[in-house]
Amino acid sequence: MNDQRAWIEQRHRDFERVWGNLPGWGTLAAVNHTSIGLRFMFTGMAFFLIGGLLAMVVRTQLALPEQTLIEPELYNQLFTMHGTVMMFLFAIPVLEGLAMYLIPKMLGARDLVFPRISSLGYYCYLFGGLILLSSLFLDRAPDAGWFMYTPLSGSDYSPGMGADFWLLGITFVEISALSAGVELVVSILRARANGMALNKMPIFAWYILGMALMIVFGFPPLVLGSILLELERAAGWVFFSVEGGGDPLLWQHLFWMFGHPEVYILFLPAAGIVSTLIPVFAGRPLLGYRWVVVSILLMGFISFGLWVHHMFTVGIPRLAQAFFSVASMLVAVPTAIQLFSWIATLLAGKPRYSLPMLWIFGFLVIFVCGGLTGVMLALVPFNWQVHDSHFVVAHLHYVLVGGMLFPLLAGFYYWLPHFSGRMPSERMGRWAFWLIFIGFNVTFLLMHLTGLLGMPRRIYTYEAGLGWDWLNLVSSVGSFIMAVGIGLLLIDLVFHFRYGPKASHNPWGADTMEWATSMPASSYNFLSIPDIHTRHPLWEKPDLPDTIAAGEHGLKEIDHVRRETYDCHAVTGKVRAVTHLPSNSWHPLWSAAMLAGVCVSLLLKVYPLALVALAGALFFLLRWSWHNGAHPRAAPPTHREDIHLPLHSRTCDGPGLWGMRVALMLNGTFYVSLLFGWFYLHTVAPQWQVPEQARLSLEWLGFSGGFLVAALAVYRRAVRRLKAREDRHLGAALWVAAGLGALHVALLLGALLSAPLSPTELAHDAVMLVTLIYLLIHSVGVVVLTGLQALRVRLGYVSGRFPYEPVVLQPLWGYTTGIFWVSAVALIALPLLWGTSG
């Protein structure tokens, strides 16, 4: 018995040596999902406190009529930064961090499948947030609202650096969100315990899968809009200016194509917390699991058809108003399915009203109220009356705070023992709840009335005697009550880590796998990974944590000194390979630092320095990509490899291939948004102008496209042979594909340089130029990556035994070819058919 215990303890030390973070400053090189997830959450909470302080200043200014505590210019900066910080620097990153922390543990995995991307995302988030916040201290904060409507955010009405801080900072931060979206989608589908089929996943994983897919499809329009607006401000290219053929409403479309799905991006993980906690405290499985899964997917789908209900007053056609009004009410159906499932589960079980459940009930009350006002706003005549009033502000906070913050705090108290190994204080937690609940409702319930009485949003003061005086005063008092509750919660957290009572294992009697890890969690989650064929593994096998820690299940070897987790079939969950994961790496930090240098250089308009920083970022990213596959720093070949369960880099269908496909889905959404802008301006812009002379040479484009198709054919043939484990002349074939691609790039660049484009005068030329640059970036990228693959063939990192990397790259060749020909049709063929020149 003693020998067995000693073996287990030694095995845990061996795992910690491989999986643990480096000591001291070396922890900055951590890529482990537990460390990265916690960093996202703690950083997000810090930003939350800053956003809350900004809100308190705003409420103090509005407490009494005709106050002059702050100047109107500063007031505009404060409410702009409050909304920006809460939406972009707190809400989404905190939920992503929670998902990164929990998902591998819930699915029986040791890490996410792209750990270095998680680390890069965190540093982009941190640096982008700091750059954005620095604008406040430099007195250069944006003041056009967190939605940055044009033309108010254009250079004419917002001169200076304020809007540039927002556009560049938010675009930088969105790298984090997009990388997390790709990471979570692929990890949920490909990194689960053996036997955990999709229909056996914890319900929380379904919610996070829905959220991640919505990020993939929802965020690119905002990124595109930010790039276009920054180009218009910095370079004078025309996209939103009416005089050159642009349209300011294009910004609203692009923003709300992101903005309304974002509401459900925030709601889904919060609802996932609710669907996870209610069964635990009701003591029975979630009723209607399949219906809830269907409602998640349905909600995600419908949410992309609602964006125009934010634009009912801008003059859109009545038919469009009717369509989006109906769609806005239709989204209440999947929400109701989840609500009835929660109520039915509580009624069918025996609920325990512990502290986390108090926050769940607060959520149910507030979110239902917010949902009812949402249905009211979906009605066009009512929307016209309360648009841009405090009624909309109240609705927004009821939906976002009720729908996101209260479930988040419920989850915070529920998983607190997992983070710390200690139980939360029931007494202080309940005081914090009631103060926040009462303060919130006092603040925002009355704000509905101020809106109905006609008080506009975004005004810094108001005259006395309009009927708003006492309502604003009480709302401001409520905000301070809520702030006291937040302060008490923070005090509770500080004392918790020192004085909280020790938690027993699985203290809430939960059913999901995260409670099978140690508390606090180890860096590797599980010493051995069991087979899971049920949604409730800890209810059906209460001894599972002990057998996992004793090494009685799979993947318990560590002598190879590799970080490994299972690679499973996306649907059935059957293990097909072992994914070897990268260890601690400085490349994400250096890459993010270089990208931050690009951002700062663009803000300062020091463009040569921006190019240098961009080159540095590309160097570190390519260097990071070099340490993969059979490279000595990754998984070099050994004589002990398992032929029945191979390493993923020895296969043709690993997580990287899925990552490429999901990334191209994201990329494709960006491209479709660009095409939407082209056709929207062509159709709707009041002064759209088409040049009389064709801008692009058909000969240059035709030959360029021909070389690209030839390169794709050569590459596909090489990959087809490689999949059959035939690698003769593989390096030569890759060099030929890269050479043909280089000829394509040269001709495409020639077409661009010879085109008489005037992007500062015509929106037509500006959109065309952006599209050509987009094509060039992809063409150059795929040629460079193919050349690197040819070099890796020569070094023995790619071969018939190691076919993985060229297979991963193949979809990018197909995508690059596809967007080239679609662009040719959109920019040249269709305008010719319409009787205009491209």
Per-residue pLDDT of 227-254, as tens digits, reads 999 999 999 999 999 999 999 999 999 9
3-state helix, strand, coil split of the chain in percent (to 5) is: 70, 0, 30
DSSP state of 564: E
CA triple 300-302-306, angle to 5 deg: 115
- Report the pLDDT value the prediction gives residue 694, as an integer from 0 to 100: 76
- Report the pLDDT value the prediction gives residue 500, as an integer from 0 to 100: 86
pLDDT mean across residues, the chain: 93
DSSP state of 559: T
- Report the pLDDT value the prediction gives residue 563, as an integer from 0 to 100: 94
Is pLDDT of 836 > 60?
Answer: no
Work out the pLDDT band at 278, boundaries 50, 70, 90.
Answer: very high
Instruction: Output the CA–CA distances (angstroms, integers) from residue 397 to 421, 424, 436, in the order listed.
Output: 33, 27, 13
Q: What radius of gyration do the chain's Cα atoms show?
A: 27
Residue 599 tokens read as: 């951002």
Work out the pLDDT band at 639, boundaries 50, 70, 90.
Answer: low
- Report the pLDDT value the prediction gives residue 264, as an integer from 0 to 100: 93
Query: Quick check: 305 and 274 in contact, CB under 8 A?
Result: no
Is pLDDT of 316 > 60?
Answer: yes
Q: Which long-range contacts (CB under 8 A, 24 or more apart) does 64-70 make?
A: 64/469, 64/472, 64/473, 65/461, 65/462, 65/463, 65/464, 65/465, 65/466, 65/468, 65/469, 65/472, 66/461, 66/462, 66/463, 66/464, 67/461, 68/461, 70/460
What's the average model confidence in pLDDT over 422-430?
91
Q: SS3 string of 116-182?
A: HHHHHHHHHHHHHHHHHHHHHHCCCCCCCCCCCCCCCCCCCCCCCCHHHHHHHHHHHHHHHHHHHHH
Place of tokens 């063409």: 779
- Report the pLDDT value the prediction gives residue 4, as an integer from 0 to 100: 77
- Hey, what amino acid is at 544? L
Query: Quick check: 768 and 682 in contact, CB under 8 A?
Result: no
- Hey, what amino acid is at 773? I
What's the average model confidence in pLDDT over 416-428?
91
User: 154-199 pLDDT, tens per residue?
Assistant: 999 999 999 999 999 999 999 999 999 999 999 999 999 999 999 9
Query: Quick check: 807 and 719 in contact, CB under 8 A?
Result: yes
Of 48, 41, 72, give the one whose Cα is nearest residue 58: 72
- Report the pLDDT value the prediction gives residue 695, as an integer from 0 to 100: 80
- Report the pLDDT value the prediction gives residue 131, as an integer from 0 to 100: 96
Q: Which long-range contacts (CB under 8 A, 24 or more apart) does 25-30 make?
A: 26/584, 28/586, 28/589, 29/119, 29/584, 29/585, 29/586, 29/589, 30/119, 30/584
Whole-number Å distance between alpha carbons of 504 and 623: 45
3-class DSSP assignment, residue 579 = strand
Is pLDDT of 204 > 90?
Answer: yes
Q: Please state, as a whole number, how many other Cβ atoms lie within 10 Å of the Cβ of residue 356.
A: 25
Whole-number Å distance between alpha carbons of 712 and 737: 7
Whole-number Å distance between alpha carbons of 712 and 725: 20
Place of tokens 């909600």: 299
Whole-number Å distance between alpha carbons of 344 and 351: 12
Of 39, 127, 120, give the one whose Cα is nearest residue 603: 127
Give Cα 102 to chain centroid, integer Å.
Answer: 16
Work out the pLDDT band at 602, boundaries 50, 70, 90.
Answer: very high
Whole-number Å distance between alpha carbons of 434 and 440: 10
**For the chain, percent of residues with pLDDT exceeding 70:** 99
Work out the pLDDT band at 1, boundaries 50, 70, 90.
Answer: low
- Report the pLDDT value the prediction gives residue 436, as an integer from 0 to 100: 96
- Report the pLDDT value the prediction gives residue 691, as an integer from 0 to 100: 85
User: 731-758 pLDDT, tens per residue?
Assistant: 999 999 999 999 999 999 999 999 999 9
Q: Which long-range contacts (CB under 8 A, 24 or more apart) does 53-61 make?
A: 54/78, 54/79, 54/81, 54/82, 54/85, 55/82, 55/479, 56/479, 56/480, 56/483, 58/82, 59/443, 59/475, 59/476, 59/479, 59/480, 60/476, 61/460, 61/461
Alpha helices (runs of H) in 191-219, residue ranges in sequence order:
203-218
Place of tokens 């809520």: 482
Is pLDDT of 318 > 90?
Answer: no
Whole-number Å distance between alpha carbons of 424 and 301: 38
What's the average model confidence in pLDDT over 654-669?
96
- Hey, what amino acid is at 716? R
Is pLDDT of 642 > 80?
Answer: no
pLDDT: is 161 or 837 the higher one?
161
**For the chain, percent of residues with pLDDT exceeding 90:** 85
- Report the pLDDT value the prediction gives residue 767, as an integer from 0 to 100: 96
- Report the pLDDT value the prediction gives residue 697, as an integer from 0 to 100: 81
Is pLDDT of 834 > 90?
Answer: no
Residue 733 tokens read as: 């074939």
Q: SS3 string of 125-140?
A: HHHHHHHHHHHHHCCC
Whole-number Å distance between alpha carbons of 743 and 750: 10
- Hey, what amino acid is at 722? L
- Report the pLDDT value the prediction gives residue 7, as an integer from 0 to 100: 80
User: 328-363 pLDDT, tens per residue?
Assistant: 889 889 999 999 999 999 999 999 989 999 999 999
Where in 693-744 does DSSP place strands (E)? none
Place of tokens 């404060």: 78
Is pLDDT of 443 > 80?
Answer: yes
Is pLDDT of 411 > 90?
Answer: yes
- Report the pLDDT value the prediction gives residue 692, as an integer from 0 to 100: 78
Is pLDDT of 837 > 60?
Answer: no
